């Protein structure tokens, strides 16, 4: 929880700087890790190949320009898929940092 406290203190000291720092590096907003897993329909987030395959498939399925989709698709869903991928990657990075610390 020390990371949360440090983040809280940083936010209190300079809210604008903190908001910029967190929003620039994180496009997934307030999406939770569990939401991200549900969006991508994955359980094992450590299987990077399966994760990438799922993301690619969902992006392709929602691509209006893909002839197979006959003009159907959703930029909104594509954005959600990419945000979910980013959220999971963020979670994995956080785990790596915790392991490195200790």
Q: Which tens digits make up the pLDDT trace of 15-35?
A: 666 555 554 456 788 899 999
The percent of residues above 70 in pLDDT, for the chain, comes to 77
pLDDT tens digits along 66-76: 999 999 999 99
Q: What is the pTM of this model?
A: 0.71
Give mean pLDDT, residues 53-63. Answer: 96
Give the Å distances, CA to CA, from 83 to 27, 36, 52, 87, 93.
6, 8, 13, 6, 15
**Per-residue model confidence (pLDDT) at position 52:** 94
């Amino acid at each position: 929880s020390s990371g949360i406290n440090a983040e809280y203190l940083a936010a209190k000291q300079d809210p604008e700087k903190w908001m910029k720092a967190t929003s620039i590096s994180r496009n997934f907003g307030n999406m939770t890790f569990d939401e991200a897993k549900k969006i991508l329909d994955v359980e094992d987030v450590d299987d990077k190949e399966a994760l990438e395959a799922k993301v690619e498939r969902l992006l392709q399925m929602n691509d209006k320009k893909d002839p197979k989709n006959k003009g159907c698709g959703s930029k909104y869903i594509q954005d959600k898929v990419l945000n979910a991928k980013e959220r999971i990657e963020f979670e994995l990075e956080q785990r790596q940092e915790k392991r490195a610390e200790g």
